[in-house]
Amino acid sequence: MAGKGIFFDGVTSVRHPVLVELSAEGVVMRDAEERVMLARWPYNELDHLAAPDGMLRLGRAGAARTARLEVRDATLIAAIDKFSVPVDRSGAAERRGRLRVVAWSMLATVVLVAAAIFGVPALADKIAPLVPLRAERWLGEAVDTQARKMLDKGDRSRPFACGDQEGLAALATLMGKLEAAAALPIALDTKVVRRSESNAVALPGGHIYVFEGLIDKSETPDELGGVIAHEIGHVANRDGTRSILQSAGLSFLFGMLLGDFVGGGAVVIGARAVLQSSYSRDVEGAADRYGVDLMRRAGGDPRALGVILDRIAGAIHPGVQILSDHPDTKARIAVINSLASPVEPAHPLLEGDEWRALKRICTAR
């Protein structure tokens, strides 16, 4: 089969009218007048180029020159389409290409989600101990700022943190004994905040919030000290940093997709994760063991944590299923008591006047 076409040699812009012949080897282009062969392109090396409707524009794949052939003969176009696999005027190849793009995009999304759900938590356990203390302090400051916004009730007549001088002095005495016994490489910043819940929270970077409600429910300074020692255990084990990496890692990944390169959304999610700390049984157990040992080293009653846990029924971290279940709480208390035995003589961490001052830290004027 043969027909007419226009050939461009890729060297000049001259249009060469040619006779296009379809041979067994491929497409042959001959000068329309002298019938001299100008080029021969095998069918499997044809490159289907974009062209207006009614025209087939071809090139040779991988050729050094940008030569091209233009054919408008419908019969000849149909024959070339039939003989050459790369030439596809039906659009099937393009549709297959689009399907491949969609399939790879869906696969990439699945991989990203799987990495965020399964990979990030696994990596967080390994990354958290390697985070430099300076970086953890920076993270703690950012989370502390966001946590204040979440916890502050907005009552301008009363500051967010309690600040009675005698109460602060008593708190400093209590924390001084615990910090000296803990000997952590990072300084602790402990605040009593005006919240009615029986709660205490450890943020990254050594920030610890003690809620007013916890002080109200504590009957002895060692009960309060036991809870704070438990939170110091979370600081020592870097559980807050790990929790943020686990929860906000997903936000970092999708934040990049949404253009949130600053990571502000991740800080919000991280702060919420710490305030609603859903620690596992193993993580809580490790903090309990640390707290009991710390109370012993500080000279306090190592059983006091179990006593206050029994009274408030696991409200140290409200919303955590393992702590709100009464049988689990009793099992946890039993472990604490077993770690605290044999009972050793213990002196209260605060004297009577100091304890009374600390109890008034949010009410004294």
What are the pLDDT digits (tens) for 296-312?
A: 999 999 999 999 998 88
User: To the nearest whole percent, how much of the chain has pLDDT over 90?
Assistant: 40
Q: Give me the pLDDT at residue 207, please.
A: 93
Query: Beta partners for 19?
Result: 4, 30
Q: How many domains does the chain have?
A: 2
Nearest CA among 152, 134, 153 for reference residue 144: 152
Distance CA 70, CA 59 (A): 9
Residue 151 shares a structural domain with residue 55? no
Q: What is the pLDDT of residues 264-286, one digit of tens each?
A: 555 565 666 666 666 778 888 89
Distance CA 145, CA 151 (A): 10
- Going across the sheet that includes 46-49, the strands are 37-42, 26-31, 16-22, 2-8, 68-71, 56-60, 46-49
Q: Give me the pLDDT at residue 332, please.
A: 82
Q: Give me the pLDDT at residue 327, please.
A: 44
- Domain-ending residue, one of 67, 90, 113: 90
User: Does residue 124 lie within any of the structural domains?
Assistant: no
User: To the nearest whole percent, how much of the chain has pLDDT over 70?
Assistant: 76
Compute the average pLDDT of residues 149-153. 81
Residue 234 shares a structural domain with residue 324? yes
Does the pLDDT at position 62 exceed 90?
A: no
pTM of the model: 0.63
Output the six-digit token pair for 358: 């600390």
Compute the average pLDDT of residues 99-105. 82
Does the pLDDT at position 27 exceed 80?
A: yes
Is the bond preceding 342 in cis, omega lying within 30 degrees of 0? yes
Q: Calculate the dihedral angle through the C-alpha atoms of 150, 156, 158, 162, rounding to the nearest 10 degrees.
A: 40
Q: Give me the pLDDT at residue 97, please.
A: 65
User: Does residue 154 lie within any of the structural domains?
Assistant: yes
- Domain-ending residue, one of 34, 64, 90: 90
Full residue range of the structural domain in which residue 177 is found? 131-359
Mean pLDDT of the chain: 81
Residue 147 shares a structural domain with residue 77? no
Side chain identity at residue 287, one-letter code: A
Q: Give me the pLDDT at residue 320, please.
A: 38
